[in-house]
Amino acid sequence: MVSIRDFCQQDRATQTELRRVGVRMVHEGHTRIEAAAAVGVNWHSVGLWVAAVARSGEKTLVSGRPGRRPDEQKALSPEQEIRIKRLIRETCPDQVGLPFALWTREAVGLLIEHETGVHLSSRTTISDYLHDWHFTPQRPQKRATERGEAAVQAWLDRDYPAIVARAKAEGAEIHWGDECGVSNQANYGRSFAPEGQTPIIPRPARRFAYSMISTVTNLGTLRFMIYEGALNVFIFLSFLRRLIKPELWIRGEGIPKRSRI
């Protein structure tokens, strides 16, 4: 009895003869499972051999060119793969002359063709390459083009530690602040509901929008103020006074006209 591993290691002439043996056993009344166990393959292979002989004769059992190893089946060489991976990691498509903003499968396919001359017509093949490279679809983070990485790192290494030391010495809090807009027009996501019964969310038809300035500390303490119109010096200074004197938040003092806590 031959094992599957032994069958694969045989030369082409021996594999051809084993196929003939398997088909002959089936013709003599043995089951495909018995024939498969005798020649070292699975029963499905024996069934394919029997069907091929019935259709085109025993010439179909002759072993052809051995299959290629997985690495040999790849369209890209290891050196080409390294180059493509580096370009995807370090650049955006438009930086290498491609009409895309993000690295989609189409963009990766064009990059491969542009850099190597290899055309991959199958999206599945491109997906297989990305999977092998451990690349996953992700939502990009936004970062200003004016951002100076050297200045940011210098602030983190030198200035911020000094601010932390001063806050600790003075018993103070460090607040991280920003401003934004607030609207009653929320962007709702999806919700499960019975099929054919779309859920309804009641909300006012009249639209309104306000502005908000807020800060949060490293410990999660949140302070915010909502106001109408654009931020100006008076509103900003009023907000800072309320940060310095927490009792103002409770009494509502120093609140600009037409603003809310």
Whether 247 and 155 map to the same domain: the answer is yes
Q: How many residues does the chain have?
A: 261
Whether 242 and 173 map to the same domain: the answer is yes
Q: How far apart are CA 36 and CA 177, in angstroms?
A: 73
- DSSP-derived pairing of the beta strands 259-260 and 175-183: unpaired
Whether 16 and 88 map to the same domain: the answer is no
Whether 23 and 121 map to the same domain: the answer is no
84 assigned to some structural domain: yes
pLDDT recorded at residue 184: 78
- Alpha helices of the chain — where are they, by DSSP H? 4-9, 12-27, 32-39, 43-56, 78-90, 105-116, 123-132, 149-154, 160-170, 233-244, 247-251
Whether 176 and 225 map to the same domain: the answer is yes
192 assigned to some structural domain: no
Whether 84 and 178 map to the same domain: the answer is no
198 assigned to some structural domain: no
Whether 107 and 153 map to the same domain: the answer is no
Q: How far apart are CA 31 and CA 64, in angstroms?
A: 26
87 assigned to some structural domain: yes
| Amino acid, single-letter form, for residue 111 | L
Specify whether the CB–CB gap between 226 and 182 falls below 8 A.
yes
142 assigned to some structural domain: no
Whether 153 and 256 map to the same domain: the answer is yes
Whether 227 and 166 map to the same domain: the answer is yes
Whether 18 and 118 map to the same domain: the answer is no
pLDDT along the chain (261 residues), means of 10: 60 84 90 86 84 82 56 76 93 90 91 90 87 88 85 93 94 91 76 80 81 91 89 91 71 50 43
201 assigned to some structural domain: no
Q: Which of residues 33, 61, 89 is at a domain's end?
A: 61
137 assigned to some structural domain: no
Q: Tell which phi-psi region holds residue 68, choosing left (phi > 0), alpha (psi between -120 and 50) or beta.
A: beta
**Total domain count for the chain?**
3
251 assigned to some structural domain: yes
Beta bridge partners of 175: 217
Residue 51's domain comprises: 4-61
Whether 218 and 116 map to the same domain: the answer is no
